[in-house]
A = this chain, B = another copy of it.
Amino acid sequence: MGDTQRLSHFGEAGEPRMVDVGAKNATARTASAHAFVAMPAAVLAALPSNPKGNPMEIARIAGIQAAKRTADLIPLCHTLPLSYVDVRIHTEPGGLRIESEARTLAQTGVEMEALTAAAIAALTVYDMTKALSKAIEIREVYLLEKTGGKSGDYRR
């Protein structure tokens, strides 16, 4: 692992620090992330039985709001002006699949914003279903795709 791969969040003496993005140009950047909330079939079956609302709607909103608070939650993240955040949640056999997307025009990427949206949406689903089962589990929180920035595009 070469010098350029040193953990960029740490200074020469190893002190924790925010990466200085001041010399970078603001460019269009996007990121999308994934999470899966695994739950027993009976819990999954109970989700759509609410006539006017369902946990997925609330989880979607919670994810969008959390994306906007990413820098408040992750100590070394930069505050970014998000131009767009979206969270999509689909029912699947075995649980709920969550995909988030974040976009910005900024000096640094929005991976953490997308991941935070997916994770908080997943925790919100957990909160609203936990009375039915303690075996619910959040899995596969990872980056699906990113575009923009010096390190180039990525697709899992």
- CB of A28, distance to nearest CB on chain B (Å): 7
Question: Do A74 and B119 touch across chains, with their CB atoms under 8 A apart?
Answer: no
How many copies of this kind of chain does the complex include?
6
- Known interface pairs A81-B79, A130-B111, A139-B140. Does A46 touch B5 (Cβ–Cβ under 8 Å)? yes
Q: Nearest B residue to A52 by beta-carbon distance? A: B14
Name A's interface SS. Answer: mixed
- Known interface pairs A10-B53, A50-B7, A112-B123. Does A17 touch B62 (Cβ–Cβ under 8 Å)? no
Chain A interface residues toward B at CB < 8 A: 1, 5-11, 13-22, 28, 42, 45-47, 49-55, 57-58, 60-62, 64-66, 68-69, 71-86, 88, 103-107, 111-112, 115-116, 119-120, 122-124, 126-132, 134-143, 146, 151, 154, 156
Question: Do A120 and B21 touch across chains, with their CB atoms under 8 A apart?
Answer: no
Residues on the B chain within 8 Å of A132, using CB: 1, 5, 7
Residues on the B chain within 8 Å of A18, using CB: 64, 82, 84-86
What 14 additional pairs, Cβ within 8 angstroms, besides A21-B83, A79-B79, A136-B143? A14-B49, A14-B52, A15-B60, A16-B55, A22-B103, A65-B72, A73-B73, A76-B127, A79-B81, A79-B82, A135-B142, A137-B141, A139-B139, A141-B141
A128 to B134, CA, bound (A): 31
Question: Do A81 and B84 touch across chains, with their CB atoms under 8 A apart?
Answer: no
A111 to B64, CA, bound (A): 20
